[in-house]
Structure 1
Amino acid sequence: MKVQQIYTGCLAHAAYYLESRGEAAIFDPLREVKPYIDRAEHDGAKIKYVFETHFHADFVSGHLNLKEKTGATIVFGPTAKPGYDALIAEDGQIFTVGDYKVKAIHTPGHTMESTTYLLIDENGKEHGIITGDTLFIGDVGRPDLAQHVVSELTEEKLAGHLFDSLRNKIMPLDDKLIVYPNHGAGSACGKKMSSETTDTLGHQKKTNYALRADMTKEEFIKELLEGLTAPPGYFPQNVLMNIKGYESIDTIMERGTNPLSPEAFEAAANETSALVLDTRDAETFSKGFIPNSVNIGLEGSFAQWVGEMIPDVKQEILLVCEPGKEEEAIIRLSRVGYDKTLGYLENGFESWKKAGKEIDRIQRMNADEFALAYNDSRPLVIDVRKKSEFDSEHVIGAVNIPLNVINQHLAEFPKDNEFVLHCAGGYRSMIAASILKQRGWENFVDVAGGFADIKTKNVEVSRFIEPKTML
């Protein structure tokens, strides 16, 4: 069966492409749809359907852009109520794509409209299931997102629905079926996802904690809800965009690919409420940047950290990028609903320097310098990794303030005493450092290389599960 997984690592997202006899279908596409269209044209196929497993929270789907550009029919599962024209499938409804069939199986739980699509080949043999966020490899979808949009859908109610969907709709299917999930490890849509992006259903029945045959519904609900962290703030906003609709990607690109001279860039920053977002790598940023800009590097989990650190998807943004990276940055912002890029600094930061504009810097030290300072004077060390990372191992005496909650805990960063900032490798701590600089902190040093380098030096590291924390 000709089904292709199209995986985007920075979002831990999987879309799927199905083609048979000149007809194609796309499942859960990203916002920029040209790669899907190009693939279909290469195969001499017309995109007939865009299947959506649910209203996504962690990204803005490209379903509307595909419909606009190809005339494809958008398909949602039962109970979905989109604010635009779409086909709402019945439970068990079958769609044809060339010689293949796609069967909609309503599997509520992650959300109420969540639907799994069973793929059937040209010989009538069941091949695989595209499960969306109902079933991952090693995990299942979190049931606490829909309540941020519809308050009466409590996480307990949704978890109960998910238990029933898995037991009554998914687990009775053939063990040989290939499971094609919407996400892999690194996504905030689950908590125990594997780095593998496909598996057989039979193997998942043996290894996935949520598919234990002897599990009661009460046990399932308890285990599923245990250890869930708060979802990123942009999730509900993305859900509403996917339900109500959004601007065309072409409009977003036209508005954002607006080169600005240093003078025009400075004027735009002063005359609007735009955030200056610098997407260069942490080391380059630290050596010189536009005052009050925030650093989130393109080389890391850019879209996810933008979503974590910028509360409002309608925030206007001015970009500073390495020359040639501007379009990539605009596309990756749009994937998570940040559509208000107003332009970018033409020729990058070097043009700002050559214009003689004001520059700020962030002091960094390497792990050897950290070890000397730590063993000599025991400075305050603030670790911005996740609590689970900190609990696993950390510098003795360090304080844990995870990056994703830094804005709620700024008062815990001293302004009168010096401190040292670090994360795992230097990416997240530079985000934190840029935010602190923007808010007026000057008395800190960031560790290049982060904890990965620190623990190789002569520094006391605790591996107890009793962290010192300020949260």
Structure 2
Amino acid sequence: MKVEQIYTGCLAQGAYYIVSENEAAIIDPLREVTPYLDRLKKDNVTLKYIFETHFHADFVSGHLDLSKKTGAPIIYGPTAQPKFDAIIAEDNQIFNIGKIRIKALHTPGHTMESTTYLLIDENGIETAIFTGDTLFLGDVGRPDLAQKSTSLTQEDLAGILYDSLQEKIIPLNDEITVYPAHGAGSACGKNMQKETVDTLGNQKKTNYALNQPDKQSFIKEVLDGLTAPPKYFGMNVALNKEGYESLDLIMNKGLNPIPAEELEAFVEETGSLILDTRSPIEFHKGFIPNSINIGLKGDFAPWVGTLVVDVKHPIVLIIDEGTQEEVITRLSRVGFDNVLGYLKGGFEAWKNSGKEIDEVNRISPSEFAKQFKDNSIVLDVRKLSEYSAEHIENSYNKPLDAISDWVNSIDDSKHFFLHCAGGYRSMIAASILNSHGIRNFTEIEGGFNGIKKTEKFPITNFVCSSKTL
């Protein structure tokens, strides 16, 4: 028997590849299925089942493409109603893979179809659980995402999740390995540990949600501090439930090189968003007016989902040479399938064509220290939890994920400084501000991490946040 966790850091997502004898199973696959097909071929095994723990909200699963290319059936837990052919497991139903068995444990609460899969090895020993978004390391799945599809409140769902954990998970042996669908950084929970694998016994000791004295305390603690989920989540659920185009077709459409001389007319005709995926360092030196910078080397796909929201919005890419397939793939993971092409020759081609170029005024923390005055306006675009822990005194917290709510309230007649933690998010904010005609600001390279090192600024005392929101 072999169990392999295939972890994707930018989404904080774990898929699982399980082999016994000449058969395999895959749990919660990502959108691009070639890596799984390569593993199956290398191991000379047949994919028998594709298990889905629930209808994912934060990414688009590869279940459909994988099923079409291998013939393996897709399995969901009880109450799931996909729009395509699938096996809807009964609670406690057993599935055989080689000499091992996988038992479906219906664990509703995060969503009503949420199911944990219990792995029973060749010797009949319960070895591992694949918990999806029911149980994370350090946390449990948020119970507020499935409200629109049910008549239940988030309090109702939290109570159902409590019952699932108490009746199905906690009674299992402490030695069982916990394999969750997500780790730290995912918006599907609020207090996840950095580790991606643990024992159930350790989770019983360290996970706050498993240590509540009663159901009401559990409901209160699990719901406390939840921020609004990213707006693209609902669209991803729909794609996972109803189906989507093959990634092969998405890739063919997106691999369309557009000459610099034709880009403006193409964007105007199609209504496309110009998405610049270069690094903040390169972007600030020069970019196409009205383009939005979300750097590929960062939490790229989740930020596109959070800020662009509409997965059907047409997109034209500005990329570093040779990254077009990676960019299209990573966008497809969160359902952005309408990439219409990319600038041929990259930004250099645009610059060499003599067309208009915009810039962001970026300065170092040391230069910021020289320019900063007591009446300077400072906008901090980090999360509220980061800002609450430590920030420049009298600065304003304007979280990037809520920029659509506050961008139109900015007074462009008053100069302000802009920063995040390290420069990635503040450059995204800078590009959005520029696209709204707001230009009277200066962005700080290196963000708050660099600012603290200057020892120039009045900083609030650090307060350790008990929950990462």
TM-score norm. by structure 2 comes to: 0.97
Paired position in structure 2 for 1:194? 193
CA distance in 2, matches of 1:410, 1:402: 11
Stretches of 4+ aligned residues off by more than 3 angstroms? none
* Contact 1:15 1:30 (C-alpha < 8 Å) held by counterparts: yes
Residues 197-346 of structure 1: matches in 2 within 5 Å?
A: 197-212=196-211, 215-346=213-344
Partner letter of residue 323 of structure 2?
Answer: K
CA distance in 2, matches of 1:382, 1:302: 22
CA distance in 2, matches of 1:172, 1:380: 55
- Cα deviations by residue, 1:201-251 (Å, 9 ceiling, x for unpaired): 011001111111x62100000000000000000001100111100110001
Post-superposition shift, 1:354? Answer: 1.0
CA distance in 1, matches of 2:365, 2:206: 39
* Contact 1:115 1:131 (C-alpha < 8 Å) held by counterparts: yes
**2:413 pairs with one of 392, 416, 437:** 416
Paired position in structure 1 for 2:61? 61
Post-superposition shift, 1:126? Answer: 1.1
Partner letter of residue 109 of structure 2?
Answer: G
- Cα deviations by residue, 1:332-368 (Å, 9 ceiling, x for unpaired): 0000000000000111101111111111111101000
Partner letter of residue 265 of structure 1?
Answer: L
CA distance in 2, matches of 1:147, 1:265: 42
CA distance in 1, matches of 2:315, 2:196: 33
CA distance in 2, matches of 1:389, 1:427: 15
- Cα deviations by residue, 1:292-339 (Å, 9 ceiling, x for unpaired): 000000001001100110021111000000000111000000000000
CA distance in 2, matches of 1:347, 1:328: 17
CA distance in 2, matches of 1:252, 1:134: 31
Paired position in structure 2 for 1:448? 445
Partner letter of residue 62 of structure 1?
Answer: G
CA distance in 2, matches of 1:400, 1:185: 23
Partner letter of residue 155 of structure 1?
Answer: Q
* Structure 2 runs not aligned, ≥5 long: 464-469
CA distance in 1, matches of 2:193, 2:266: 44
* Contact 1:128 1:180 (C-alpha < 8 Å) held by counterparts: yes
CA distance in 2, matches of 1:142, 1:40: 33
Residues 6-17 of structure 1: matches in 2 within 5 Å?
A: 6-17=6-17
Post-superposition shift, 1:268? Answer: 1.0
Instruction: Provide the aligned length of Structure 1 versus Structure 2.
Output: 462
State the identity as a percent.
Answer: 60
* Contact 1:3 1:17 (C-alpha < 8 Å) held by counterparts: yes
Partner letter of residue 167 of structure 1?
Answer: Q
SS of 1:303 mapped into structure 2: helix
Partner letter of residue 110 of structure 2?
Answer: H
Partner letter of residue 162 of structure 2?
Answer: F
Paired position in structure 2 for 1:468? none
Cα RMSD after superposing both structures: 1.0
Partner letter of residue 349 of structure 1?
Answer: F
SS of 1:362 mapped into structure 2: coil
Paired position in structure 1 for 2:389? 392
CA distance in 2, matches of 1:390, 1:287: 28
SS of 1:124 mapped into structure 2: coil
CA distance in 2, matches of 1:242, 1:347: 35
* Contact 1:391 1:463 (C-alpha < 8 Å) held by counterparts: no
* Contact 1:102 1:117 (C-alpha < 8 Å) held by counterparts: yes
CA distance in 1, matches of 2:439, 2:183: 38
CA distance in 1, matches of 2:302, 2:13: 11
CA distance in 1, matches of 2:19, 2:164: 28
Post-superposition shift, 1:264? Answer: 2.4
* Contact 1:3 1:18 (C-alpha < 8 Å) held by counterparts: yes
Paired position in structure 2 for 1:123? 123
SS of 2:337 mapped into structure 1: coil
Partner letter of residue 143 of structure 2?
Answer: P
SS of 1:370 mapped into structure 2: helix
Partner letter of residue 358 of structure 1?
Answer: E
- Cα deviations by residue, 1:13-62 (Å, 9 ceiling, x for unpaired): 00000011111111000000000110011000111110000000000000
CA distance in 2, matches of 1:353, 1:139: 48
CA distance in 2, matches of 1:226, 1:294: 33
SS of 2:357 mapped into structure 1: coil
Q: Does 1:405 align with 2:402?
A: yes
CA distance in 2, matches of 1:146, 1:387: 25
Paired position in structure 1 for 2:435? 438
CA distance in 1, matches of 2:85, 2:269: 39
- Cα deviations by residue, 1:180-211 (Å, 9 ceiling, x for unpaired): 00000000000000000010001100111111
**1:351 pairs with one of 349, 369, 380:** 349
CA distance in 1, matches of 2:329, 2:266: 21
Residues 353-392 of structure 1: matches in 2 within 5 Å?
A: 353-374=351-372, 376=373, 378-392=375-389
Q: Does 1:4 align with 2:4?
A: yes
Paired position in structure 2 for 1:73? 73
CA distance in 1, matches of 2:461, 2:324: 42
CA distance in 1, matches of 2:302, 2:358: 26
* Contact 1:12 1:184 (C-alpha < 8 Å) held by counterparts: yes
Partner letter of residue 52 of structure 1?
Answer: E
CA distance in 1, matches of 2:58, 2:171: 29
Seen in structure 2, the aligned counterparts of structure 1 residues 440 and 165 have a Cα distance that, compared at 3 Å, is same
Q: Does 1:462 align with 2:460?
A: yes
SS of 2:10 mapped into structure 1: helix
* Contact 1:256 1:343 (C-alpha < 8 Å) held by counterparts: yes
